[in-house]
Amino acid sequence: MSDAFESIRKHKWKIIFTFAVSFFIIFAITFFIGIDEVIFTLEKASWEYILISLVLEAAILLIWTLRWKIILDVVDQAPKFSTILSMLFASLFGNNITPSAAGGEPLRAYLLREVEGTPFELGFASSTADRVFEFLPFVLISIISAVFVLSWNLPLFTKFIVTILIILSMILFGILIYAGLNRQVTQKIVIRLARSVYPFFMRLAKNPLTFGEVAEKLVFYISRFSSGFKTAFKDRKVFIIGFILSFFMWGLDMLRMYVCFVSLGSFPPISPLIIIYTIGILISLLPLLPGAWGIREVILIGLFAVAGISADTVMAASLIDRLGSYVIPTIIGALAAFYYGKKVRNMEKKPSST
């Protein structure tokens, strides 16, 4: 991976298109609900509670940085806390502009290698292990969510769609866990599948790769993911601390979403909020649109209706939530990515000038 930013630059028009689709969906939903109603609801929002939600998001990011630092200390010597935090923001930029939040882990490994000299394999293993800890709370809560949603009095179509999305998310988690535990078997299966679809995708690619190159990349990433997965479990102390921090982050995230509703004068029931918001996060992980913009909002509106929360309130609360969890981190992440991109280019020029 010579340049982790190259993929973003190469696919910039696809990224712009997916964002355009996302914002069109958001606009269509808002139009259907009533633009005036959503704006009126937002105008009633308490800035004090919005500020609290931003503080909670900042606390989540600081705990996330601490968790990654603990993992890095196991696989290598971790950089200072502020460096890890800025790299995390840069990776969030990669996550937030790519579907299924898939662009951040390679970017973290790339920055660690170029700036700190950490071997790419170790950096990628650490970021993957960190991702594994992030999944743990949602695997448990999603199972509970599936049981509760099926027992709710929802329209059959809504229940069907939500159930399918939960099943797809659980299948994804199952595949990831299997890949982490059975590297060699996973490599064989993935390469076999890749071989079957390779001719089709190469016809669509502008710069086609040989199958050998594709297989090499697949083996590399599967191997690194497996290493990261095992890293997350091999040190019992790190596993326990990471597990506790992950659930604490999840709890703060639930509290932050609740505060977003409270800022609008709405007080949703706690249990449905936890289940519904967890489903929303699971949907965000599916490779559909960046951040699942629009798709998540539709699901949240449909599910919160069962809890007696109006569509305009849910939409307004979701937009406030997006401000703290998506918009601001993405902007800061873009600045961090630009800073590191410039720093790496300057570092590459130094040897040639001496």
Question: Does 275 or 208 have the greater pLDDT score?
Answer: 275
pLDDT in the model for residue 240: 87
Please say if the pLDDT value at position 192 is more than 70. yes
User: Can you read off the two tokens belonging to residue 21?
Assistant: 């689709």
Cα–Cα dist 349/354, whole Å = 9
Cβ 142 vs Cβ 278: under 8 Å: yes
> Got the DSSP string for 18-57?
HHHHHHHHHHHHHHHH-HHHHHHHHHT--HHHHHHHHHHH
231-271 per-position pLDDT tens digit: 666 777 888 888 899 889 988 999 999 999 999 999 988 87
pLDDT of residue 11: 58
Q: What is the pLDDT of residue 272?
A: 81
Query: What integer pLDDT is reported at residue 146 of this predicted model?
Result: 67
Averaged pLDDT score across all residues of the chain: 78
**pLDDT tens-place string over residues 47-70:** 999 999 999 999 999 999 999 999
Distance (Å, rounded) from C-alpha 232 to C-alpha 221?
16
Chain centroid to Cα 177, Å, comes to 17
Please state the rounded mean pLDDT for residues 107-136. 81
pLDDT greater than 80 at residue 289: no
Max mean pLDDT range (103-112, 147-156, 217-226, 278-287):
103-112
Residue 243 identity:
F
How would you class 36 by CB atoms within 10 Å of its CB: exposed for 0-12, middle for 13-18, buried for 19 or more? exposed
How far apart CA 23 and CA 213 sit, in angstroms, is 36
Average pLDDT over residues 273-301: 70
Task: Compare 180 and 279 and report the one with higher pLDDT.
Answer: 279
Please, are residues 297 and 108 in contact by the beta-carbon 8 Å criterion?
no
- Please tell me which residue, 139 or 93, carries the higher pLDDT value: 93
Decide which of 184 and 232 is more confident: 184
pTM of the model: 0.79
Q: What CA–CA distance (Å, rounded) separates 79 from 132?
A: 21
Domain range annotation of the chain = 6-341
Report the number of secondary-structure helices (H) and strands (E) in the chain: 15, 0
Least confident interval from 21-25, 85-89, 106-110: 21-25
DSSP class of residue 309 equals -
Structure tokens, 170 = 């659980």
Does pLDDT of 91 surpass 60? yes
Q: How far is CA 146 from CA 143, 161, 169, 203, in A?
A: 5, 12, 11, 40
Contact predicate 186/178, CB 8 Å: yes
Amino acid 249 reads M
pLDDT for position 252: 93
Gap between the Cα atoms of 47 and 54, Å rounded: 10
Rounded mean pLDDT, 30-45: 88
The conformation of residue 292, written as its DSSP 8-state character, comes to G
pLDDT band for position 2 (cuts 50, 70, 90): very low
Per-residue pLDDT band for 89 (boundaries 50, 70, 90) equals very high
Over its C-alpha atoms, the chain yields an Rg (Å, rounded) of 21
Residue linked to tokens 């497996």: 226
Find the mean pLDDT for residues 288-304. Answer: 70
CB distance 53 to 260 below 8 Å: yes
Residue 1 pLDDT more than 50? no
CA distances from 268 to 27, 272, 298 (A): 25, 8, 17
